[in-house]
Amino acid sequence: MKATAIANANIALVKYWGKRNKELILPFNSSISMTCDGLHTKTTVDFSGSYGKDTVLINDEELKKDEKNIMAHIERIRQMAGITDKAKIISESNFPVAAGLASSASGLAALTLAASKAAGLNLNEKELTILSRLGSGSASRSIPEGFVEWHHGEKEDGSDSFAESIASKSHWPEFRMLACIVSEARKPVGSRAGMAQTVDNCPYYEGWLKTVNDDIAAVKKGIAERNFTLVGSTAEKNTLKMHALMMTTTPAIIYWIPQTLEIMHSVMLWREEGLESYFTIDGGPQVKVICLQKDEKEILSRLSSLDCVIRAINCPPGGGAQLSNSHLF
């Protein structure tokens, strides 16, 4: 009745932005991500004590504003397992939460694996991705290893909307994601609210849906062939399209801050100088620089010289969510 799991964050190379079903968290489009070694969440769940209520402690702070419906997710798992015990949950991440670094993805993936195991469920990877999706869409991509595709699915019940590895972490070990932290503050608009607003009133959302499948095809081809230019350039174009959607909603959602733009311009300049790298940005101000291992030392050195970068986390392709025998309590 007690289990601990560790899950890595994932950074999307082709983004998911918008739900066709908000209750089941079914996306309008498929997405592709890289599971990031170096950005992880560790979570312990215990159903075995005589707890009077569910308690959740995230990075030493008690959960009060439940933006991701964590309590509902625990109740969902209880119902699946046929138990009524209350839970004690402690979770720790090694990077800032709610700041645009996919903390909810690693957090909900770790919670799903730990809670389901503690409740007596033995789910396979596909089942875990579907269950994680119900807590946070992008969490489904933090269950498998390496390069991952989350299928948007066609069925109304969501049974065909799951995530799977399309290439293992050993397929392209030279690939790098450098997560640049420019602000540790919580972002002003959560991704869930931002997506809903974009789908409701962005005049260009149909254009996004018409082009995103081309991006999916290009990135899958690039990963299969280890074509860095194809993957990097498509990922950068895709992130710019996604942020253009947000900027043209009413009211506008602008996650970028001056530090974000400084890194974006720097990466484009370095590329013109022959140092090939690309950027991608999720719902927040943080920039992730995509490069190859042969250039990581030089790019990290250049990033460290920028006053806007608090720190940069070097992430190679990472492993999938795993159970751990080392509990947090």
Cα 33 from chain centre: 8
d(CA 91, CA 81): 22
Query: Which parts of 54-163 fold into alpha helices (H)?
Result: 70-81, 103-118, 125-135
Burial label for 319, CB within 10 Å (0-12, 13-18, 19+), is middle
Q: Both tokens of residue 288? A: 């992730």
Instruction: State pLDDT tens for residues 245-302.
Output: 999 999 999 999 999 999 999 999 999 999 999 999 998 899 999 999 999 999 999 9
Question: Quick one: pLDDT at residue 102?
Answer: 60
Kindly list the structural domains of the chain, giving each domain's residue range(s) and its CATH number in brackets, ordered by start: 2-172 (3.30.230.10), 175-315 (3.30.70.890)
Q: What is the mean pLDDT of residues 315-324?
A: 98
Residues 50/71, Cβ–Cβ less than 8 Å: no
Q: Percent of the chain, pLDDT > 90?
A: 88
Question: Quick one: pLDDT at residue 204?
Answer: 97
Question: Quick one: pLDDT at residue 269?
Answer: 98
Question: Quick one: pLDDT at residue 70?
Answer: 92
Q: What is the mean pLDDT of residues 90-104?
A: 75
Asked if residue 100 has pLDDT above 60, the reply is: no
Instruction: State pLDDT tens for residues 165-198.
Output: 999 999 999 999 999 999 887 777 777 788 889 9
Question: Quick one: pLDDT at residue 320?
Answer: 98
Asked if residue 98 has pLDDT above 60, the reply is: no
Residues whose CB is less than 8 angstroms from the CB of residue 99 and which lie 6 or more positions away in sequence, other chains included = 181, 183, 184, 185, 186, 187, 284, 285, 286
Q: What is the mean pLDDT of residues 87-92?
A: 96
Asked if residue 150 has pLDDT above 70, the reply is: yes
